[in-house]
Amino acid sequence: MKNYGICYNKTIENSAEIKDRLKKILDKNSVNYEIFDIDNMKSDIDFVFVIGGDGTILKAARYFAQYKIPIFGINRGRLGFLSQTTTDNIESSVEQILSGNYKIEGRMMLTAQGYTALNDFVIKGEECSRTSRFSLEINGKFVCEYLADGIIISTPTGSTAYGMAAGGPVLTPQIEAITIVPICPHTFSARPIVVSSNDEIKILNSKQSKYNVSADGQIVFAPQQDLIIKKSENMAALALLNQNDFYSVLRNKLKWGISPAKM
C-alpha cells in the first residue's frame, strides 16, 4: 500500500484548514499518510500532496526530485501555475489520484555550485542600482558580453515565469532546452537565445563584475568563481491530472491568446 504525504505551508492563509480537509478525504479512503510542513519534509513516502503556491511547490519539487517522489500541487497561492487543482475541486482531484487517473511528468532541472533550480537561476550584479557586465560562455566558447540588469537562465518549466516576463520565449515542458534571457539589456541586439539542455553555460566572474545568484527566487548565493550552469541529473516528478494539459494552463491561468474583450 502506498504511503502518501501531506505537505503544507504554515505561512499561507488557510493552508492548515486545507490540510485538515485533505486528511479527512484520505481517512475516508483508508490510505496511509504522513503530515509535515514545507520546512520539515520527509522522504519515506511514495507520493506527496503539496498545499501552497508556486513557491511552496518549487521548494517541494527540488527536495523530492532527489528521491524521485512525485508531487501534486493544491493551490493556495496567487497564480498557482504549477498546481493542478484548487481547494474548490480538492475532493474530486484527490479521488482521481487515488484511483490512478493521473500521469507523472518529469521536468528538467538545472544545477550550479551545488544548488538546484526547477524554474531558473537569475544572475544580477552586486550593485542592484546599476547595470552590470556579464560575460557569457557556452561549452567553453565565448558568446557575448551583456550590459544589462541581469540574466535569467531557465528551464522549459521556468520559461513561463520570470523569463517570460522579461521577454523570453515560452517552451513546452517536453522540450529539453535552456533559455538565456537578458534583463533590460542596454542594446537592441541583445536577444534571448535557446540552447541545448546538454550545453554548459558559464557566466564569468571578475573583480570588475561581481554578482549574486538566486535559485528559483528562493536561495541566494554569491559565487566566488565563474558560475557554471548545466542540466541536473535529477528531474522533478509532477503528478498531473489527465484532463489538464500545458496549453489549457496557459489559457486559463495566463489568459494566453484570449482577446481582451473576452477577459
Average pLDDT score over residue span 99-120: 96
| Single-letter residue type at 91 | E
Name the class of domain 3-100: alpha beta
Residue pLDDT, tens place only, 163-183 = 999 999 999 999 999 999 999
Average pLDDT of the chain is 90
pLDDT at 250: 75
pLDDT at 262 over 60: no
Considering the chain, tell me which residue range(s) the CATH 3.40.50.10330 domain(s) occupy: 3-100
Q: Which of 37, 46, 54, 88 is catalytic?
A: 54
Of 140-144, 169-173, 235-239, 254-258, the one with minimum mean pLDDT is: 254-258
Please write the tens of the pLDDT for every residue from 65-91: 999 999 999 987 565 668 778 778 889
Residue 20 is among the residues annotated as catalytic for this protein = no
Is pLDDT above 60 for 105?
Answer: yes
Residues 6 or more apart from 121 whose CB is under 8 A from it? Answer: 110, 112, 115, 152, 153, 154, 213, 214, 215, 227, 229
Per-residue pLDDT tens for 110-169?
Answer: 999 999 999 999 999 877 667 888 999 999 999 999 999 999 999 999 999 999 999 999
Distances in Å between the Cα of 103 and the Cα atoms of 94, 121, 173, 220 are 13, 28, 14, 33
For residues 197 and 61, what is the distance between their CA atoms, to the nearest angstrom?
A: 19
Residue 115 has a pLDDT of 97
- Give the whole-angstrom CA distance, residue 209 versus residue 211: 6
Please give the residue that has the higher pLDDT: either 130 or 42: 42
Is 12 a residue whose pLDDT tops 90?
Answer: no
Q: What's the confidence (pLDDT) of residue 112?
A: 97
* Cα dihedral sign, 159-161-162-165: positive
* Interval 202-222 mean pLDDT: 89
So what's the architecture of 111-233 in CATH? Sandwich (2.60)
The predicted pLDDT at position 243 comes to: 76
CATH 2.60.200.30 domain extents, the chain? 111-233
Name the band, by pLDDT with cuts 50, 70 and 90, for residue 104: very high
